[in-house]
Copies of this chain bind each other. A is one copy, B any other.
Amino acid sequence: MASPTSILSFLLLLPLTAAVSSTQVIKMYPKQHVVGAEPKCESWKFSIEVNNAGSWKSIPPTCIDFVKDYFNSGRYLADSRSVAAFSLNFARSVKVSEGDAWIFDVDETLLSNLPFYKDHEFGLQPYNDTSFFEWVKKGSAPALPASLTVYNWLKKLGFKIFILTGRDESLRAVTEQNLIDAGYSGWEKLILRGPNDDKKNIEYKSEKRAELVNQGYTIQGSSGDQWSDLMGFALAKRSFKLPNPIYYFP
């Protein structure tokens, strides 16, 4: 039996061996044997964004230039703007009532930690609490522009805004000030992790959403860069996944 590595090599690195049994598909793709470094990283990005990859610790070393280019070329901003457009398209369809709520995650959703990740090879270095916390405590993360636009439109439309972050209570003051400095205001509640809460993100966020539902809110929308922000239980009517090819939180 082949090793896992050999299966992966077979699928990712070699020409389409399996395709010889499918002449019809082959005929449709004249360039199907051309699968160089860039399409491989494009395909890696596709798979991590749709949550096929499961838990992953760091980006593939061969994709560092691809990831840099994704951010530097404007594709990241364009992708986040498309998320904003679909979010607002849905928001406009809601006849907003008193208890209608929208939940935003903080990191890589409302705020961008790119200045930090730019200095840490865009996720090539595995996530490190200490250095990331030092950055967070500076309170200088900029807004992700498309999210700021969505946030302000949602307020105008009458949604109650909840900010639900995996950051813990010790970071409340700096997070609040950072959000204000980045242009956010008027949220209903900023929810942070309590001390000694080491639940997985998906469980923690589901429980907090359930508390809001129990308080009578209807969670219409939820915006986050991690699937664990958007899945689990007490789900929003519609969830919006922002791009993040840098890191993964279960």
**Contact with A7, one of B8, B43, B50, B153 (Cβ below 8 angstroms):** B153
Is the CB–CB distance between A24 and B142 below 8 Å? yes
Q: Is A58 close to B, CB under 8 A?
A: no
Q: Is A75 close to B, CB under 8 A?
A: yes
Is the CB–CB distance between A46 and B115 below 8 Å? no
Is the CB–CB distance between B182 and A22 below 8 Å? yes
Q: Is A42 close to B, CB under 8 A?
A: yes
Size class of the contact patch on chain A? 35 or more
Which residues of B are found within 8 Å of A29, using beta-carbon distances?
71-74, 76-77
23 A-B contact pairs sorted by A residue (CB < 8 Å): A4-B88, A4-B93, A11-B146, A16-B146, A18-B143, A18-B148, A19-B77, A25-B77, A28-B72, A29-B72, A29-B74, A30-B72, A32-B77, A35-B78, A39-B75, A40-B82, A42-B78, A43-B81, A46-B79, A47-B86, A50-B241, A52-B82, A52-B83
Is the CB–CB distance between A81 and B16 below 8 Å? yes
**Contact with A40, one of B40, B46, B78, B118 (Cβ below 8 angstroms):** B78
The docked-state distance in angstroms from the alpha carbon of A115 to that of B28 is 8
Q: Is A114 close to B, CB under 8 A?
A: yes
Specify the chain B residue showing the minimal Cβ separation from A151.
Answer: B18
Is the CB–CB distance between B74 and A35 below 8 Å? yes
Specify the chain B residue showing the minimal Cβ separation from A80.
Answer: B43
Is the CB–CB distance between A34 and B143 below 8 Å? no
Q: Is A145 close to B, CB under 8 A?
A: yes
Is the CB–CB distance between A140 and B24 below 8 Å? yes
